[in-house]
Structure 1
């Protein structure tokens, strides 16, 4: 006789089956599902449209002292596209294999975290818990495409300000070791476009004084020299100290465009770069350095396609009650923590920018990193194991 599935796993798989894949996420179906689950638990909720068709939902458990700053449990509902031919199953069927692995887009990034919050709150309510601080769960849209129409807009809306958030939890990344990674900051994400203009001419010529492509190549080489320096530091460390990806800056050439015909020297050329700025770097000094490297060449301009001007950190010292609580709960669960700077970008950057301390924690240990990968998956035992951890963490954070 087949073992009956744990109800929390069944609900989690229902959530995974909602197709919120970019570029056309079904946000309406998603918030309807979440609202129904909130109603079942007797929790108040509010749906907020941050931009036309961009739906977010806040679910609230009011505290006994609502004047205290609240706890925000943040997660995003959208997921990245899939290459269906590379999957062994339908990525939105949320099948559970015989070995207990649940395969679905969003299984690691990050519906497992959002649903762990829900099940943690469910478990706390079942024992009659009433928090001192109000606890909000936020399920927000569009994180996977930069949060420009999601959290970036939400933090400036009155509905968000009314939440009175004092501290937030958000997503992390899986650990392949027996540890939980805790992210207390992240690198500022920029998309940079370098545009070069010059003199056109016949492709047979050798000397063209103002050559757009040659000038662009000089800038690219400067950027790549800097990139090589950062790569060396990542591999060999800094002053004998091992560093992680979040401790260095990255510049990656991601786009190139020039030319109209093989025998015509182009008068315009441009290159696009993905740039990530570590909190270890002065963000304004780095910005000015990039501009100088590019615009020292005549006829070359640097444009910021996207720019985020903050790479604030949340303190991880004994003076921070939030950090002290996270470490205390981890010890109670015999969990080793690895504090890191997030190498990419999450919605937490918008929270830290306005002064809200935030930690990114995904309860994923001893598992391969499969976010955005084919056959993204999580084992049902790992998912269930995380619920008591989140329950204790939420309970103790809300009682501070």
Structure 2
């Protein structure tokens, strides 16, 4: 038995990890029952909301502050995890086993069941020490973040139930840091998933037709790949940049054709674009229209996702929550790197509602294994994260 297995907080974390809230067709009910049990043990009132439907529960635990009229603080996490390929794991993906080095293996160990339980562990310690807070804390557990949050946080934000929480600031997930640095996220790129439905001359494959779908497809792909190359150079030439500072472009789908010797009348090509904060969306829309004209026309654009620009959270003196956050970081002597999140989290919906949000998972010296095989977090890193939240939560709540 490892030295960590008798630790009560580790045991609670393991219990949470063993609940397989895994896509597709997640059964959230066992998870909700577990969280209700945790709320009861902490003496925190709990409510469950289902704006996305009865199978998409959002659970909110509330620690009422001494000045509840002040804007509250949300500690957000998502309960769902991505699928696993058990044959590629050296430990059972939902076993939460600890090896001799203290590595806790499980899907969700990093993304992000660790944070969801670290919040509660910190609150447990603070309440035990008799700490009181000015602002009310809402610990929020949402479903479906891993599939875009459409029936989770996005549905919750416009409701009167969310407005009643009176949220002034939110903490949410970040990513592990493989070095001493902790990544801290203040913004996200806008996600565009765009399809070009290309029409062209059809006919026998033995001839040289004009204005074929293949010719137009090549033109559109070349334009995207040229733009991609420019962004690659930006990233390579600026040592301070991370992937979130540039626009990423990837061709993800091509569909079309009926037979080897028939020139197809229609080809559909799809791209995943994550737009950097400094690229004007109107300029990009205009580029697309220009490319279509230059390619010869006969092309329709369809967006399966087209997010508007969401304002970044300010990380300067104008944001008292950031000042509180940074004061703890400095006090503990932690090294951080502020950056734009490379993917998408529920913070984009929170920021869109005008609420500042910071993404932070207190994991350093940890390889980035979210969505990967053998996802793990070391027990010592997990427990140290609790200590960080024990400082962060009161400082932010009393800002």
For this structure pair, what is the TM-score category when the shorter chain's length is used for normalisation? over 0.9
What's 1:128 paired with? 130
Q: Which moved more, 1:278-287 or 1:51-60?
A: 278-287
Deviations 1:251-274 (A, max 9, x none): 100111110110111001011111
What's 2:120 paired with? 118
Report the TM-score, using the length of structure 2 for normalisation.
0.97
Question: Distance between the aligned counterparts of 1:322 and 1:390, measured in 2?
Answer: 14
Question: Distance between the aligned counterparts of 1:193 and 1:295, measured in 2?
Answer: 16
What's 2:391 paired with? 392
- Give how far 1:173 is off: 0.7
Question: Distance between the aligned counterparts of 1:346 and 1:230, measured in 2?
Answer: 23
Partners of 1:168 and 1:359 within 8 A in 2: yes
- Give how far 1:295 is off: 5.1
What's 1:58 paired with? 60
Question: Distance between the aligned counterparts of 2:248 and 2:257, measured in 1?
Answer: 28
Q: What secondary structure does 2:274 align onto?
A: strand
Deviations 1:4-49 (A, max 9, x none): 5210000000000111111122211111110111011110111111
Question: Distance between the aligned counterparts of 1:34 and 1:288, measured in 2?
Answer: 48
Question: Distance between the aligned counterparts of 2:2 and 2:114, measured in 1?
Answer: 24
Distance 1:2 1:166, change over 3 A: closer
Partners of 1:187 and 1:278 within 8 A in 2: yes
What's 1:213 paired with? 214
Distance 1:376 1:2, change over 3 A: closer
Of 219, 238, 244, 1:246 maps to 244
Question: Distance between the aligned counterparts of 1:75 and 1:170, measured in 2?
Answer: 6
- Give how far 1:2 is off: 6.1
Deviations 1:79-138 (A, max 9, x none): 111111100121011111121100000000111111111111111111112211000011
Give the alignment's Cα RMSD to 1 decimal: 1.3
- Give how far 1:296 is off: 4.3
Q: Equivalent residues in 2 for 1:1-400 (5 A)?
A: 3=3, 5-52=6-53, 53-206=55-208, 208-237=209-238, 242-294=240-292, 296-297=294-295, 298-400=297-399
Partners of 2:2 and 2:100 within 8 A in 1: no
Partners of 1:222 and 1:293 within 8 A in 2: yes
Q: What secondary structure does 1:274 align onto?
A: strand
Question: Distance between the aligned counterparts of 1:374 and 1:291, measured in 2?
Answer: 41
Deviations 1:281-327 (A, max 9, x none): 22332233234334543101111101111232111112321111111
Q: Which moved more, 1:249-258 or 1:3-12?
A: 3-12
Q: Which runs of 5+ in 1 are unaligned?
A: none
Q: Which runs of 5+ in 2 are unaligned?
A: none
Partners of 1:283 and 1:311 within 8 A in 2: no
Partners of 2:188 and 2:341 within 8 A in 1: yes
Q: How many residues align?
A: 396
Partners of 1:236 and 1:242 within 8 A in 2: no
Q: Which moved more, 1:48-57 or 1:333-342?
A: 48-57
Report the TM-score, using the length of structure 1 for normalisation.
0.96
Q: What secondary structure does 2:371 align onto?
A: coil
